[in-house]
Structure 1
Amino acid sequence: ELEAAAERPHALTGPLRVSAPIGIGRHHVGPALRAFAALHPGVQVELRLSDMLEDMVKAGLDLAVRNGPVPGREASLVARVIARQELVLVASPSYLDRVGTPTRREELMQHRTVRYSRHGRARGWAFAEDGATVQMDPPSAFLADNIETLLDAACEGLGIARLPDWLVAPALADGALCRVLPRECPLVIDTYLVRPMTHAPSIKVRTAADHLASAIARSMKV
């Protein structure tokens, strides 16, 4: 009976430490964890938002949400795909009216762009072509290491941006942004839920992982 009581969801107690990138953390992981905390008041939830990858064991993390390939996941991490994001090209109507709308990918090199950067270096744009990947480095008008800031810059007409579909969906719906080169295949990025492989997860971590996976998959669906 004691073991059965310990396994019941309402009996979950203790700290739960989760990390996530800032954008997806604010929009998806945070709401999911707040709902989990309301369901399990005995759990002390800590969410750490950062676009920098941490060593999960050294940081004392139970779970992490990661975008794209998870470094070293086969050796030290257990990872599962919980959602997929499409990165789409967008720009404001004011920018396109002022500069013109590109009709071919190559024309991006004549446009100003709004791009993600890390340590002062802009991240290039990758495109699929004949089974290979083509990298482009168009001129940058505005760089930032936060996707919400890039969204604001694109809406204000600073240039063409490439951002997650779930992030730009409201701006596309209300006309603040337009798709650019919509026939280009979007870059698809897997979103992972990750935990350390160092020990078997507790019922608390397993319950939280299942809750996060389900909630994030629903909220990121466009």
Structure 2
Amino acid sequence: METLLSFDKVYKDYPSGPSIIHALKETNFEAKKGELIAIVGPSGSGKSTLLSLAGALLTPTGGTISINGKSVGNLSSKEQTALRLEEIGFIFQAAHLVPYLHVKDQISFIGKMAGKSAAELEKDTASLLSQLGISDRANFYPKDLSGGQKQRVAIARALINQPSVILADEPTASLDTERSREVVELIRNEVVKTSRTAIMVTHDERMLDLVDHVYRMEDGILTQES
């Protein structure tokens, strides 16, 4: 299977007075097409640092990160912004929906930023809403949605530019068990059906039977468990 995200000897340090915090110790990691990967571990262990590095939001202190064959370190700031728009879809713990935008506009706004045409966006947005079972909420505001519906909108927004890599940071934290499984199953189905890859940081070990691989983060060290 083709590798869509890779870390080659990647590490991240932060200066802290006279000492250095090793937020992520030297890490080798690969995520391939069709894989949903979970990263678990206690707060402060380095999970968010790894996800931010994978999303080109942080620059590593050393090592090489490649996304869909492109070395992130070789890109200019402008090219990294374009890469995030085109190749990476973000799903956060809180859906972070814009209060004054209808559901369909929450999704199309991200596509506009990537330069998609209005006709293309209308078609793709309608398709995603249908796929995720929320077509009847297209003209609703976030305040009129349930927690599960908000996360479905967040998933649609993450997918609108057809990214290679989906990064999900605690996507089920505010949901009950039933809605949590629903959200993770939706992410898994999208990954398998469209040959993307997804990395999910989670404390919710009830969802681990739905993923292909589990990694644990402890004190900045990433190890594969399954």
TM-score range, shorter chain: under 0.3
Work out which of the two has the higher radius of gyration on C-alpha atoms and give 1 or 2.
Answer: 1
The structure with the greater share of residues assigned to strand is: 1
Q: TM-score, normalised by structure 1?
A: 0.27
